[in-house]
Structures are given as structure tokens and as C-alpha cells.
């Protein structure tokens, strides 16, 4: 098991990602539809750059902490299982982000496409669920003795 400080940092980073995920799902991505097509490219560059400054460090901390937790799990079966479950959830969220969401964002970088925005909204749900589940797993790992 990780030292409490590393577990806490992993939990905070994952809470940040879950919170951003739900915000993006219900507010930010739907708001994309209110951007005028002639302003889209400039907006998307601004959005991508600014968002990256926030989410990339949090994703890095979440991913590294989750895998350290998995590989340093104690012999207690439930801790080991939760450690690996957390790592799988983090891997899924990161993989989905870079394998699905980033590709859709890339296709939106140069032109407005409401269909692609709808696809971005529809495909964000799995990340929201994975980050939220990871928060719960980390909370249990930290609080249960």
C-alpha cells in the first residue's frame, strides 16, 4: 500500500479528473455548440491548450499513483484487488482519453462539426464512470483498515 501522502495525492488527482469529467459532460462539451463556426478554430486551440495545463498533470499523478498502488499491494486480498482495480480504471480512463476523445478533438481542431461534438459528448460517459469509480476505490483503500 502506498504511503498515505501518495494515496492522498492520487485521490486528489482522481477527484480532479472526475470533477472535470462531469463538468465537461454536462456543461463544457454541450457549450461547444454555441461557438460560432467562424470562431471555432481559435476557440478550439484555446480550449485544448488551457485544458491540457490542468488535466495532464492530474492524469499523470492518477496513473502513476494507481500503478504504484497496484504493484505495491499488500498480501491482503481485498487491498490487492482494489489496487489492481484502481489501476485498471486509471488505464481505461487514460486509454479512452487518448484513444477516443483526443482523436475526436483532433478531427474538430480545424473545423466546426456538430455531429463530431455530439460524438464527443456521447463518448465522454465511459471516462466519467471510470474516474468516479476510481475515486470510490481509492477512498476505500485509504479509509478501510
Domain that holds residue 118: 4-143
10-residue block means of pLDDT along the chain (145 residues)? 76 97 97 96 93 95 92 74 92 97 94 96 98 95 80
The DSSP H or E segment spanning 105 is helix 102-108
pLDDT in the model for residue 74: 67
Number of domains, the chain: 1
Whole-model pTM: value is 0.92
> What distance in Å separates the CA atoms of residue 142 and residue 1, rounded to the nearest whole number?
9
pLDDT in the model for residue 142: 84
Using alpha carbons, select from 136, 108, 126, 118 the residue that is nearest to residue 43: 108
pLDDT in the model for residue 30: 98
> What distance in Å separates the CA atoms of residue 63 and residue 17, rounded to the nearest whole number?
11
CB 22 within 8 A of CB 130: no
Amino acid at each position: 500500500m502506498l504511503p498515505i501522502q501518495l494515496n492522498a495525492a492520487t485521490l486528489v488527482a482522481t477527484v480532479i479528473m472526475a470533477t472535470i469529467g462531469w463538468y465537461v459532460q454536462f456543461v463544457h462539451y454541450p457549450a461547444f455548440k454555441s461557438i460560432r463556426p467562424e470562431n471555432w478554430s481559435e476557440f478550439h486551440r484555446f480550449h485544448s491548450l488551457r485544458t491540457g495545463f490542468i488535466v495532464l498533470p492530474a492524469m499523470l499523478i492518477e496513473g502513476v499513483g494507481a500503478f504504484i498502488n497496484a504493484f505495491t499491494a499488500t498480501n491482503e486480498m481485498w487491498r490487492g484487488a482494489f489496487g489492481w482495480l484502481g489501476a485498471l480504471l486509471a488505464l481505461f480512463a487514460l486509454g479512452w482519453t487518448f484513444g477516443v476523445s483526443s482523436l475526436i478533438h483532433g478531427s474538430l481542431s480545424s473545423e466546426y462539426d456538430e455531429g463530431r461534438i455530439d460524438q464527443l459528448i456521447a463518448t465522454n460517459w465511459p471516462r466519467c464512470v471510470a474516474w468516479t469509480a476510481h475515486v470510490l476505490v481509492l477512498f476505500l483503500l485509504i479509509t478501510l483498515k
